[in-house]
Structure 1
């Protein structure tokens, strides 16, 4: 009896359908970006091609490609023959992001009223997710859920341009938020309470109260940045 053909071999079949790993440059990009966002690579850290190549298990060529991409996103500054410097979050950048958030979120939270049950349920789920991450002390996860809470409201407004603009702020928000929570750990509980206030206003169908809660929530972040919050 002849041996089975390679096309009918189980191992060949499984390998044919197996998901390919992402390209080397993409793996480096994800590794470095996540390290910057969760502060494993602090602002002021100099990353070298050799170190990153060894950490990810790739050659230096995809490392260069990934670093160039991250430089265009404003996370790194490349120095030829030296490496890539992780850029610190500036006070001006934080102020600009906060100002943009105020403009977008106060408008979109008003548009969310009356809020459909699906939106209210999703916001409650994200609020609970934040609480769980806070109890675990996982600040990057807290900020990811925090950002999703606000993004759900923005998306519900139905303005695709505003939604895309908000998505463009995603990484900056995550990075800045983690930095603020590290410096102000009591801010986690305050943020949860403020999110609960926004959700309560949406449940009540009170657009003015929802806008005021969102404005106060983001305004307190601005005060922390300026060092005037008490």
Structure 2
């Protein structure tokens, strides 16, 4: 049977999004048949998608019929947070080396915070988590450090999965993260790199405390 164009990619994106958001928790078994039925496609593209996710260590394919979601181990979570802090503080030092970043960068951070506030008010944790991830990426990109950006992109999926887990702990975590981001924006507007890096460190350390 020929796989319809894009069917495997749809199955991959559909399943990956559910894993990263925490909708499908670590340890849960996934059925190729169930995913195929959800998307209205055959099992063949779903199996292809599961193999891609297995290669990314998000799934362990047990058989032709299904797979198990790989839990994020505490050591992996700590490693991700450690690398995240290193990348974000180093890129901030470059982006803020001569004071406040360009107006378009500040505008992007402000607009992102508007989206975060709306998500927080509506209680949409998944939307908040997506905006949260985008907020941290803005200054990384503004640094124009291509090596750091590559490492940041490599960690993106694991950062987002961990971020979703941490924010779903309770509404207080969303409120605390929003407060951190507002303070980071204020520091960036002033071009205060030391304060910005201190805030990133505190932000990450609080997340470590939840693990």
| Alignment-derived partner of residue 145 in structure 1 | 131
Calculate the aligned-residue CA RMSD, in Å.
1.4
| Shift in alpha-carbon separation, 1:22–1:135, aligned structure 2, 3 A | farther
| TM-score (norm: length of structure 1) | 0.85
Deviation (angstroms), 1:40: 2.4
Q: Work out which structure has the larger RCO, using CA pairs closer than 8 Å and 6 or more positions apart in sequence.
A: 2
Q: Distance in 1 between matches of 2:66 and 2:165?
A: 24
Indicate if the aligned counterparts of 1:140 and 1:174 stay in contact, CA closer than 8 A.
no
Q: Is residue 2:54 matched to residue 1:54?
A: no
Q: Distance in 1 between matches of 2:83 and 2:158?
A: 12
Aligned residue runs from structure 1 range 49-198, under 5 A: 49-113=32-96, 114=99, 115-198=101-184
Indicate if the aligned counterparts of 1:109 and 1:154 stay in contact, CA closer than 8 A.
yes
Deviation (angstroms), 1:22: 5.4
4+ runs of 1 displaced by more than 2 Å?
none
- Secondary structure of the corresponding residue to residue 77 of structure 1: strand
Which of the two has higher C-alpha Rg? Answer: 1
| Alignment-derived partner of residue 14 in structure 1 | none
| TM-score (norm: length of structure 2) | 0.92
Unaligned 5+ runs, structure 2: none
Indicate if the aligned counterparts of 2:29 and 2:67 stay in contact, CA closer than 8 A.
yes
Q: Deviations over 1:127-174 (max 9, x none)?
A: 111111111111111111111111011111111111111112222122
| Shift in alpha-carbon separation, 1:62–1:82, aligned structure 2, 3 A | closer
Q: Distance in 2 between matches of 1:81 and 1:200?
A: 52
Q: Distance in 1 between matches of 2:13 and 2:37?
A: 15
Q: Distance in 1 between matches of 2:82 and 2:10?
A: 33
Q: Distance in 1 between matches of 2:204 and 2:47?
A: 37
How many pairs does the alignment contain? 205
Aligned residue runs from structure 1 range 213-228, under 5 A: 213-225=199-211
Unaligned 5+ runs, structure 1: 1-20, 226-230
| Shift in alpha-carbon separation, 1:201–1:46, aligned structure 2, 3 A | same
Q: Distance in 2 between matches of 1:134 and 1:185?
A: 8
Deviation (angstroms), 1:39: 2.4
